[in-house]
Amino acid sequence: MSSLRVGETTKRIAWVDILRFLGMSLIYWGHLGVSNNIVLYIFSHHVPLFFFISGFFATLLPKEGSFLSFLWKKVRGIIFPYIFFTLLFYVMQLITRQLSFSKLPSALLISAVGIRNKVPGPLWFFTCLFIVVIAFELIKRIVSVIFGSSKATKIISFILAAALFIVGICFLGHEPAQDPKWFWNVDSAFVYIFYYALGAFFFPVISKWRYRERKLFGKVFFFIFFILAFAFALFTCLKGADFTAQVEGFFVTLFKEQVSADILFEVYALLSACIMIFFEICISRFLALIPAISRFLAYVGKDSLYHCGNELIVKYFGGLLISYLGLNAFMNNDWFLLLYSIICMTVLTFTLNLLERLCLGRLFGNGRISFHK
């Protein structure tokens, strides 16, 4: 397993940070108004990907220590950053006169409720992640008390996460992942907790897996599956919007009722997201083998929390710079937007992100804060 030492005491896993880099690049890219097929590729899995990554270090067993100490750690590591980035965004809006002081109280109230599509940009992820992390830890602790066995705890915790996913897509009466309605996106957490559990379940397998150590059959099987995943990702980027509409229409025709069609389409969306995640894990593992590239990508990728929190700010000032340089025409080009997204992330890493990590690391509960620890 390729590792990268960052700082004095924190040993990081290069391919995981590279995977974060890929995920954040997709998020920045998708929020810039790229073409329909690329948007579909990105939005089909970019949020599941980050819940999946967040689950990597969760494990399927309860954490050591009391639940209250665990809760406080997550408040410092997730809710404090949410408050900070929300206030920072509103300060920027007040300074640039995008928000008036008279409207600030209502904006703060909306952010306190924390519902997706109402709070600024991607900041809803913080509250939803907090609910997912706390809920999954509670599940593990309750199951552990009842059943005792570590093996039973792992299996039953995973099954309960899957059950919550089924409840989320079948019984809430609305689409919780894309259009949540509950405080702090608790309804979205019903869906995303399954991806979090998947990350916890598969990380030990993924981290130990080595292509060179596989027998011939294993290598051939992996290669075939990778090619199929690559083909599916490429097809989605090229024809995904039309194909997805056809799949959804097929389910409606097959079942003659919207509810059953929607449920089956959610299962299709789950499988699609898993294929995309597998493909990007493969890419990140490959890039981790190239030292000159991996060090840069991993260094930028490790700041996923700060990239998420500062996205709207850097895009605002980046947009002003693009206009000043007369490059607005290029903003209609998908690949220029991808390059622009990577540049924004790189600039943030060595400026605002760095400053915030140095000043706020202890406040957030860690000298080098991360979503995933």
For residue range 24-52, list pLDDT tens digits in order.
Answer: 999 999 999 888 888 888 998 999 999 99
- Predicted local confidence at residue 276, as pLDDT: 95
Buried b (16+ CB within 10 A) or exposed e, 16-39: bbbbbbbbbbbbbbbbbebeebbb
State the Cα–Cα distance between residues 295 and 200, nearest whole angstrom.
25
Closest CA relative to residue 124, chosen from 27, 19, 267, 42: 27
92 is written with which tokens?
A: 């920027």
Q: What would the mean pLDDT of 83-106 be, rounded to a whole number?
A: 95
Distances (CA, A) of 256 to 48, 166, 175, 311: 29, 21, 19, 42
Judge whether 304 and 24 are in contact, CB under 8 Å. yes
Between helices 36-43 and 14-30, what is the axis angle to 10°?
A: 140
Judge whether 53 and 200 are in contact, CB under 8 Å. no
- Please tell me the pTM assigned to this model: 0.91
Residues whose CB falls within 8 Å of the CB of residue 51, separated by 6 or more in sequence, listed in order: 129, 132, 192, 193, 195, 196, 199
Residue listed under structure tokens 């060179």: 212
- Predicted local confidence at residue 57, as pLDDT: 87
Q: Phi first, then psi: what are they for 11, rounded to 5°?
A: -100, 120
Q: What would the mean pLDDT of 98-122 be, rounded to a whole number?
A: 95
State the Cα–Cα distance between residues 84 and 79, nearest whole angstrom.
9
Closest CA relative to residue 283, chosen from 39, 80, 25: 25
Q: Phi first, then psi: what are they for 300, rounded to 5°?
A: -70, -40
Handedness of CA 273, 274, 277, 278 (dihedral sign): negative
Judge whether 111 and 86 are in contact, CB under 8 Å. yes
Residue 292 or 188, more confident: 188
Q: How many CB atoms lie within 10 A of CB 238?
A: 13
- Predicted local confidence at residue 259, as pLDDT: 66
Q: What is the pLDDT of residues 178-219, one digit of tens each?
A: 899 999 999 999 999 999 999 999 999 999 998 888 899 989
293 is written with which tokens?
A: 């590239």
- Predicted local confidence at residue 266, as pLDDT: 86
State the Cα–Cα distance between residues 309 and 300, nearest whole angstrom.
14
Residue listed under structure tokens 């073409």: 35
pLDDT at residue 235 above 50?
A: yes
State the Cα–Cα distance between residues 53 and 19, nearest whole angstrom.
8
Mean pLDDT of the chain: 89
- Single-letter amino acid, residue 306: Y
